[in-house]
Amino acid sequence: KEKLDAEILELSATVSELDNISVLEDHILFLQKYPSLSIQNDMRDWTNVELDTSLSFGTMRDTIITLVEEIQQEVEKLTTIELRRVPKFRADVKLDPNTAHQRLVLSDDGKEVKDGGQDQEVTDTPERFDLFGSVLGINNLSNQRSYWEVEVSNKPGWDLGVAKGGANRKGGLTLSPDNGYWILVHYEGEIYAAMSSPPTRLSINNKPMRVGVFVDYEKSVVSFYDVTAQSHIYTFKDCLFSDGLYPYFSPHMMQEDGNVEPLVIRFETKTE
């Protein structure tokens, strides 16, 4: 019972805090405090707890359920505010062919990338990924806020995010913040994960068709959104940026069952 009381108090404080943030419409503070919106998953399972009176437990359980619902409502409200604001920081992101793995094919306008199915004749430079099928954007995101959207369509695999300019691009990479990468990955057609340390498996019910990426260099956050569903996916916080910062893309390699579609960077000057 004491643990239940403590959790109720904690949930009540969370509701109050979220409500205050909502009034302030401070979406950066929201992202820093609730990076993955995994509130329900963090709640303790009280279904097997036995108390002296079932009425007491039932009342407390109902209270917890109500508070969790209130938290979710506040989160949805804040996400709506957040998604209205970030598009004004749209960046005209384009791909840097000098960083692209030799199997990757880029469109002439630098907006699309896909696996070409075979190696191309390119010069191996320090900037080029030589094992991972990846490519960076030409845009240096340092000291600013930037937002871009990528159409991922129905691809069974892709990576999106940002990378430090000085991050290693050779050999087998560990895509993690410790190595200068802040990446969201999708693989096997249904698995989503944020490549934190350790990686964070994400619960996403509906497959995103277009993903938004928002970087606030000064606030040290990188956020991902399902643009179609108007929902927040994940935020890396307390990021240690340096050496320049660049958009990161990987369309993943073609498979027998597909994954031939390109990643397409979409740029609209008006907020959708």
Report the CATH number that the domain containing residue 101 is assigned in CATH: 2.60.120.920
Considering the domain architecture, whether residues 99 and 76 belong to the same structural domain is answered as no
Model confidence pLDDT, tens digit, residues 177-189: 999 999 999 999 9
Range of the structural domain that residue 8 is part of: 2-88
Residue 112 lies in a domain: yes
Question: Order of strands, edge to edge, in the sheet holding 231-236?
Answer: 104-106, 112-115, 263-266, 145-151, 210-216, 221-226, 231-236
Cβ pair 182, 236 in contact under 8 A: yes
Split into its structural domains, the chain has a count of 2
**Residue 233 confidence (pLDDT):** 93
Model confidence pLDDT, tens digit, residues 68-86: 666 666 556 556 666 677 8
Average pLDDT of the chain? 81
Strand partners of residue 265: 150
**Residue 17 confidence (pLDDT):** 57
Considering the domain architecture, whether residues 55 and 102 belong to the same structural domain is answered as no
Residue 61 lies in a domain: yes
Q: Which of 37, 56, 88 is the last residue of a domain?
A: 88
Considering the domain architecture, whether residues 150 and 101 belong to the same structural domain is answered as yes
Label residue 55 by pLDDT band (50, 70, 90): very low
Label residue 87 by pLDDT band (50, 70, 90): confident
Residue 26 has pLDDT above 60, yes or no: no
Q: Which of 38, 54, 88 is the last residue of a domain?
A: 88
Question: E-assigned strands of 188-227?
Answer: 191-194, 200-202, 210-216, 221-226
Q: Which of 33, 64, 88 is the last residue of a domain?
A: 88
Distance between CA atoms of residues 58 and 16, nearest Å: 23
The mean pLDDT value for 151-161 works out to 95
Instruction: Give, rounded to a whole angstrom, the gap between the first and last alpha carbons of the chain.
Output: 48
Considering the domain architecture, whether residues 222 and 167 belong to the same structural domain is answered as yes
Considering the domain architecture, whether residues 134 and 236 belong to the same structural domain is answered as yes
Considering the domain architecture, whether residues 144 and 162 belong to the same structural domain is answered as yes
Residue 56 lies in a domain: yes
Residue 220 lies in a domain: yes
Higher-pLDDT residue of 45, 201: 201
Considering the domain architecture, whether residues 84 and 62 belong to the same structural domain is answered as yes
Considering the domain architecture, whether residues 151 and 258 belong to the same structural domain is answered as yes
Peptide bond into 198 cis (omega under 30): yes
Considering the domain architecture, whether residues 105 and 231 belong to the same structural domain is answered as yes
Residue 271 lies in a domain: no
The mean pLDDT value for 235-245 works out to 92
The set of residues, in sequence order, having a beta carbon less than 8 Å from that of 95 and lying 6+ positions away, is 106, 110, 111, 112, 113, 135, 136, 137, 138, 249, 265
Residue 272 lies in a domain: no
Q: Which residue has the tokens 């960077």?
A: 265
Considering the domain architecture, whether residues 22 and 117 belong to the same structural domain is answered as no
Predicted structure pTM score: 0.74
What are the CA-CA distances from residue 171 to residues 104, 132, 192 (Å)?
16, 7, 23
Cβ pair 221, 236 in contact under 8 A: yes
Label residue 117 by pLDDT band (50, 70, 90): confident
**Residue 51 confidence (pLDDT):** 46
Considering the domain architecture, whether residues 246 and 157 belong to the same structural domain is answered as yes
Considering the domain architecture, whether residues 99 and 178 belong to the same structural domain is answered as yes
Distance between CA atoms of residues 151 and 107, nearest Å: 14
